[in-house]
């Protein structure tokens, strides 16, 4: 079905758009990829479980040598009602499939279309699982074709620095697909073709030139390699620390942390390690460097700093703190809230750091509660600007029309600043009132959106306020009980770990603490986190301080939170609007 909303039986349509992809000629085993026929398939279904749900649409594109040689598309009557949630996602309704052929009629035509081809799908386990189950239901022999999963290939051939995830839409944008995935089978299959060509083009740079080599490239690294590299764990200390896998050029490939480095590194060379990306990493690793630490907290901080500084390719978390976002007010006569990756100036109202999605949700919550403008136009106090619908319905003070003075609007901006730095109750109360209205009018989807925005705002306010008061506190010395006796001591200055030591069992720890304070590194006093990396370290330290076995030794300065601040909302999960009224 080609997006027309009417069913038709599947068939082949000859076509010839060029993708721009060309395959190299390699003298190798297997069939050269330029001669392999790929059948890229996508399904739409009534649910996620192949043994409990039906197929509603099949779309497939057959390609060879970078050319499309045929397409197949049809709606399928699943023989059961389509869940309304699925309909909202795909647009396929019960009426659209009512006159479509059943899977028993469609399946033979599709298998004939795909005969002799290598099957390709994005998250192939899903689509192939449904097709195999359909064969079982209709007593049709499953031909057991070779299968290529573009998700698996994408994990091998793309980095988090390029794409935040391996969803089809994300990869389609990366590889310049002319078709945007839209949860319709044929369009999604066409988009997957562009992804396949882009991934194969990258795979050729890894020496992949045939279908056999492509299959080998998709498989896990053989256990023989793990055995051959096992010597890299020899001689490592059984102590807390950070371990760094390095390649022949001494580049950091992967950084990890453990309370027992030797045991942890050895586990990478066992059958228990099944993560493909780390097995890939081992293929390039030539040595393991260890940074021994006093205890697990120092090791965790060292790992965080090394990953953000070195950005090893096989690490995922904490690698790009500079990509985190902040909520801030713009510096103009009529300020507005904005998401920015640049940390706000010290002492200015802010929320963050956070993901861009969470930051935008927090802004939406504040804008829903206050008449602050949301337009991006830079407004002038000397000339009028075009108005928008928000002003007409009373959701904006309309500074564009000069209905408020700069001073009057400044009071609104000040309320937004207090929503970031002070008491979040006015925002929470306003949204709670709106949630009640939406629920009473049975607008549950809109209510859920407002609830999620409020949850994002409150969580971000809580974390921001905790970090701010912690960083401003100055020096904090704390100690946690060590396994086997003794104390794990940390000197923290303005939200950064300045020194660490583990004291021996059954001795007075205070002399060790005194020497540690003398030798700990100096930290410039600041009132808030200076960047996202600083905030991440502060949160790691705060989590450690919150453990029941950790005791405060000394606190210089004041470490406190406002009684009316966001801290009193910590742990509150917003599901019902009534508890939000404080």
Q: Are 199 and 208 in contact (CB under 8 A)?
A: no
Tell me which of 2, 133, 183, 402 is the catalytic residue: 183
In whole angstroms, give the CA distance from residue 274 to residue 267: 11
Query: Please, are residues 153 and 118 in contact by the beta-carbon 8 Å criterion?
Result: no
The neighbouring-strand residues paired with 32 are 210
Query: Do the Cβ atoms of 77 and 98 come closer than 8 Å?
Result: yes
Q: Is 496 helix (H, G, I), strand (E, B) or coil?
A: strand
Contact of 90 with 80, CB cutoff 8 Å: no
Is the omega angle on the peptide bond into residue 371 within 30 degrees of 0, that is, cis? Answer: no
Which has the closest alpha carbon to 177: 155, 199, 158, 157?
199
535's CB contacts (< 8 A; 6+ apart) are 321, 324, 352, 353, 467, 495, 529
Residues 6+ apart with CB under 8 A from 435: 447, 450, 451, 454, 577
CB of 487 within 8 A of CB of 377?
no
Q: At what angle do helices 425-440 and 444-472 cross, to 10 degrees?
A: 170
Taking alpha carbons only, the member of 381, 371, 370 closest to residue 406 is: 381
Q: Is 133 tagged catalytic?
A: no
Q: What is the DSSP letter of 222?
A: P
Are the CB atoms for 36 and 213 separated by under 8 Å? no
Annotated active-site positions, please? 183
């Amino acid at each position: 079905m080609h997006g027309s909303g009417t069913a038709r039986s599947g068939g082949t349509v000859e076509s010839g758009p060029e993708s721009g992809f060309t395959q190299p000629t390699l003298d190798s085993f297997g069939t050269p990829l330029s001669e392999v026929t790929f059948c890229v398939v996508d399904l739409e279904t009534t649910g996620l479980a192949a043994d409990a749900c039906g197929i509603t649409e099949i779309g497939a594109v057959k390609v060879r040598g970078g050319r499309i040689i045929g397409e197949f598309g049809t709606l399928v009557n699943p023989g059961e009602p389509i869940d309304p949630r699925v309909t909202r996602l795909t647009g396929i309704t019960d009426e659209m499939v009512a006159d479509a052929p059943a899977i028993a009629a469609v399946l033979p035509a599709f298998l004939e279309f795909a005969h002799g081809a290598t099957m390709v799908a994005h998250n192939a386990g899903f689509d192939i699982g449904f097709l195999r189950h359909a064969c079982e239901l209709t007593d049709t022999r499953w031909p057991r074709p070779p299968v290529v999963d573009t998700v698996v290939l994408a994990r091998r051939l793309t980095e988090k620095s390029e794409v935040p995830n391996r969803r089809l839409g994300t990869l389609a944008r990366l590889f310049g697909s002319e078709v945007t995935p839209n949860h319709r089978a044929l369009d999604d299959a066409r988009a997957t073709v562009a992804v396949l060509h882009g991934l194969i083009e990258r795979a050729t740079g890894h020496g992949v030139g045939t279908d056999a080599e492509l299959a080998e490239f998709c498989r896990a690294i053989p256990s023989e390699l793990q055995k051959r590299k096992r010597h890299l764990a020899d001689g490592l200390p059984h102590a807390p620390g950070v371990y760094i896998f390095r390649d022949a050029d001494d580049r950091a490939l992967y950084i990890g942390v453990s309370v027992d480095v030797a045991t942890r590194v050895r586990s990478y060379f066992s059958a228990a390690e099944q993560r493909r990306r780390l097995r890939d990493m081992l293929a390039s690793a030539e040595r393991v460097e260890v940074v021994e630490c006093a205890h697990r907290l120092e090791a965790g901080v060292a790992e965080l700093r090394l990953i953000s500084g070195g950005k090893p390719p096989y690490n995922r978390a904490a690698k790009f703190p500079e990509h985190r976002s902040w909520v801030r007010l713009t510096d103009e006569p009529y300020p507005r809230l904005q998401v920015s990756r640049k940390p706000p100036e010290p002492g200015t109202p802010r929320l963050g750091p956070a993901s861009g999605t969470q930051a935008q949700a927090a802004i939406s919550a504040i804008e829903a509660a206050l008449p602050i403008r949301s337009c991006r136009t830079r407004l002038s106090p000397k000339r009028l600007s075009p108005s928008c619908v928000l002003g007409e319905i009373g959701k904006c003070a309309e500074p564009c029309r000069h209905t408020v003075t700069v001073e009057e609007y400044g009071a609104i901006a000040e309320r937004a600043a207090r929503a970031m730095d002070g008491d979040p109750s006015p925002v929470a109360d306003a949204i709670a009132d709106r949630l009640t209205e939406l629920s009473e009018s049975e607008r549950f989807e809109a209510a859920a959106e407002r609830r999620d925005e409020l949850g994002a705002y409150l969580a971000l306010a809580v974390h921001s306020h905790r970090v701010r008061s912690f960083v401003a506190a100055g020096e904090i010395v704390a100690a946690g009980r060590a396994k086997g006796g003794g104390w794990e001591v940390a000197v923290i200055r303005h939200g950064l770990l300045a020194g660490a030591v583990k004291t021996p069992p059954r001795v007075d720890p205070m002399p060790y603490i005194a020497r540690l304070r003398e030798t700990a590194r100096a930290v410039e006093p600041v009132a808030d986190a200076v960047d996202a990396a600083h905030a991440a370290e502060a949160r790691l330290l705060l989590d450690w301080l919150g453990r029941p076995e950790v005791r405060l030794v000394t606190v210089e300065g004041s470490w406190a939170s406002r009684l009316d601040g966001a801290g009193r909302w910590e742990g509150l999960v917003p599901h019902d609007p009534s508890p939000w009224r404080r």
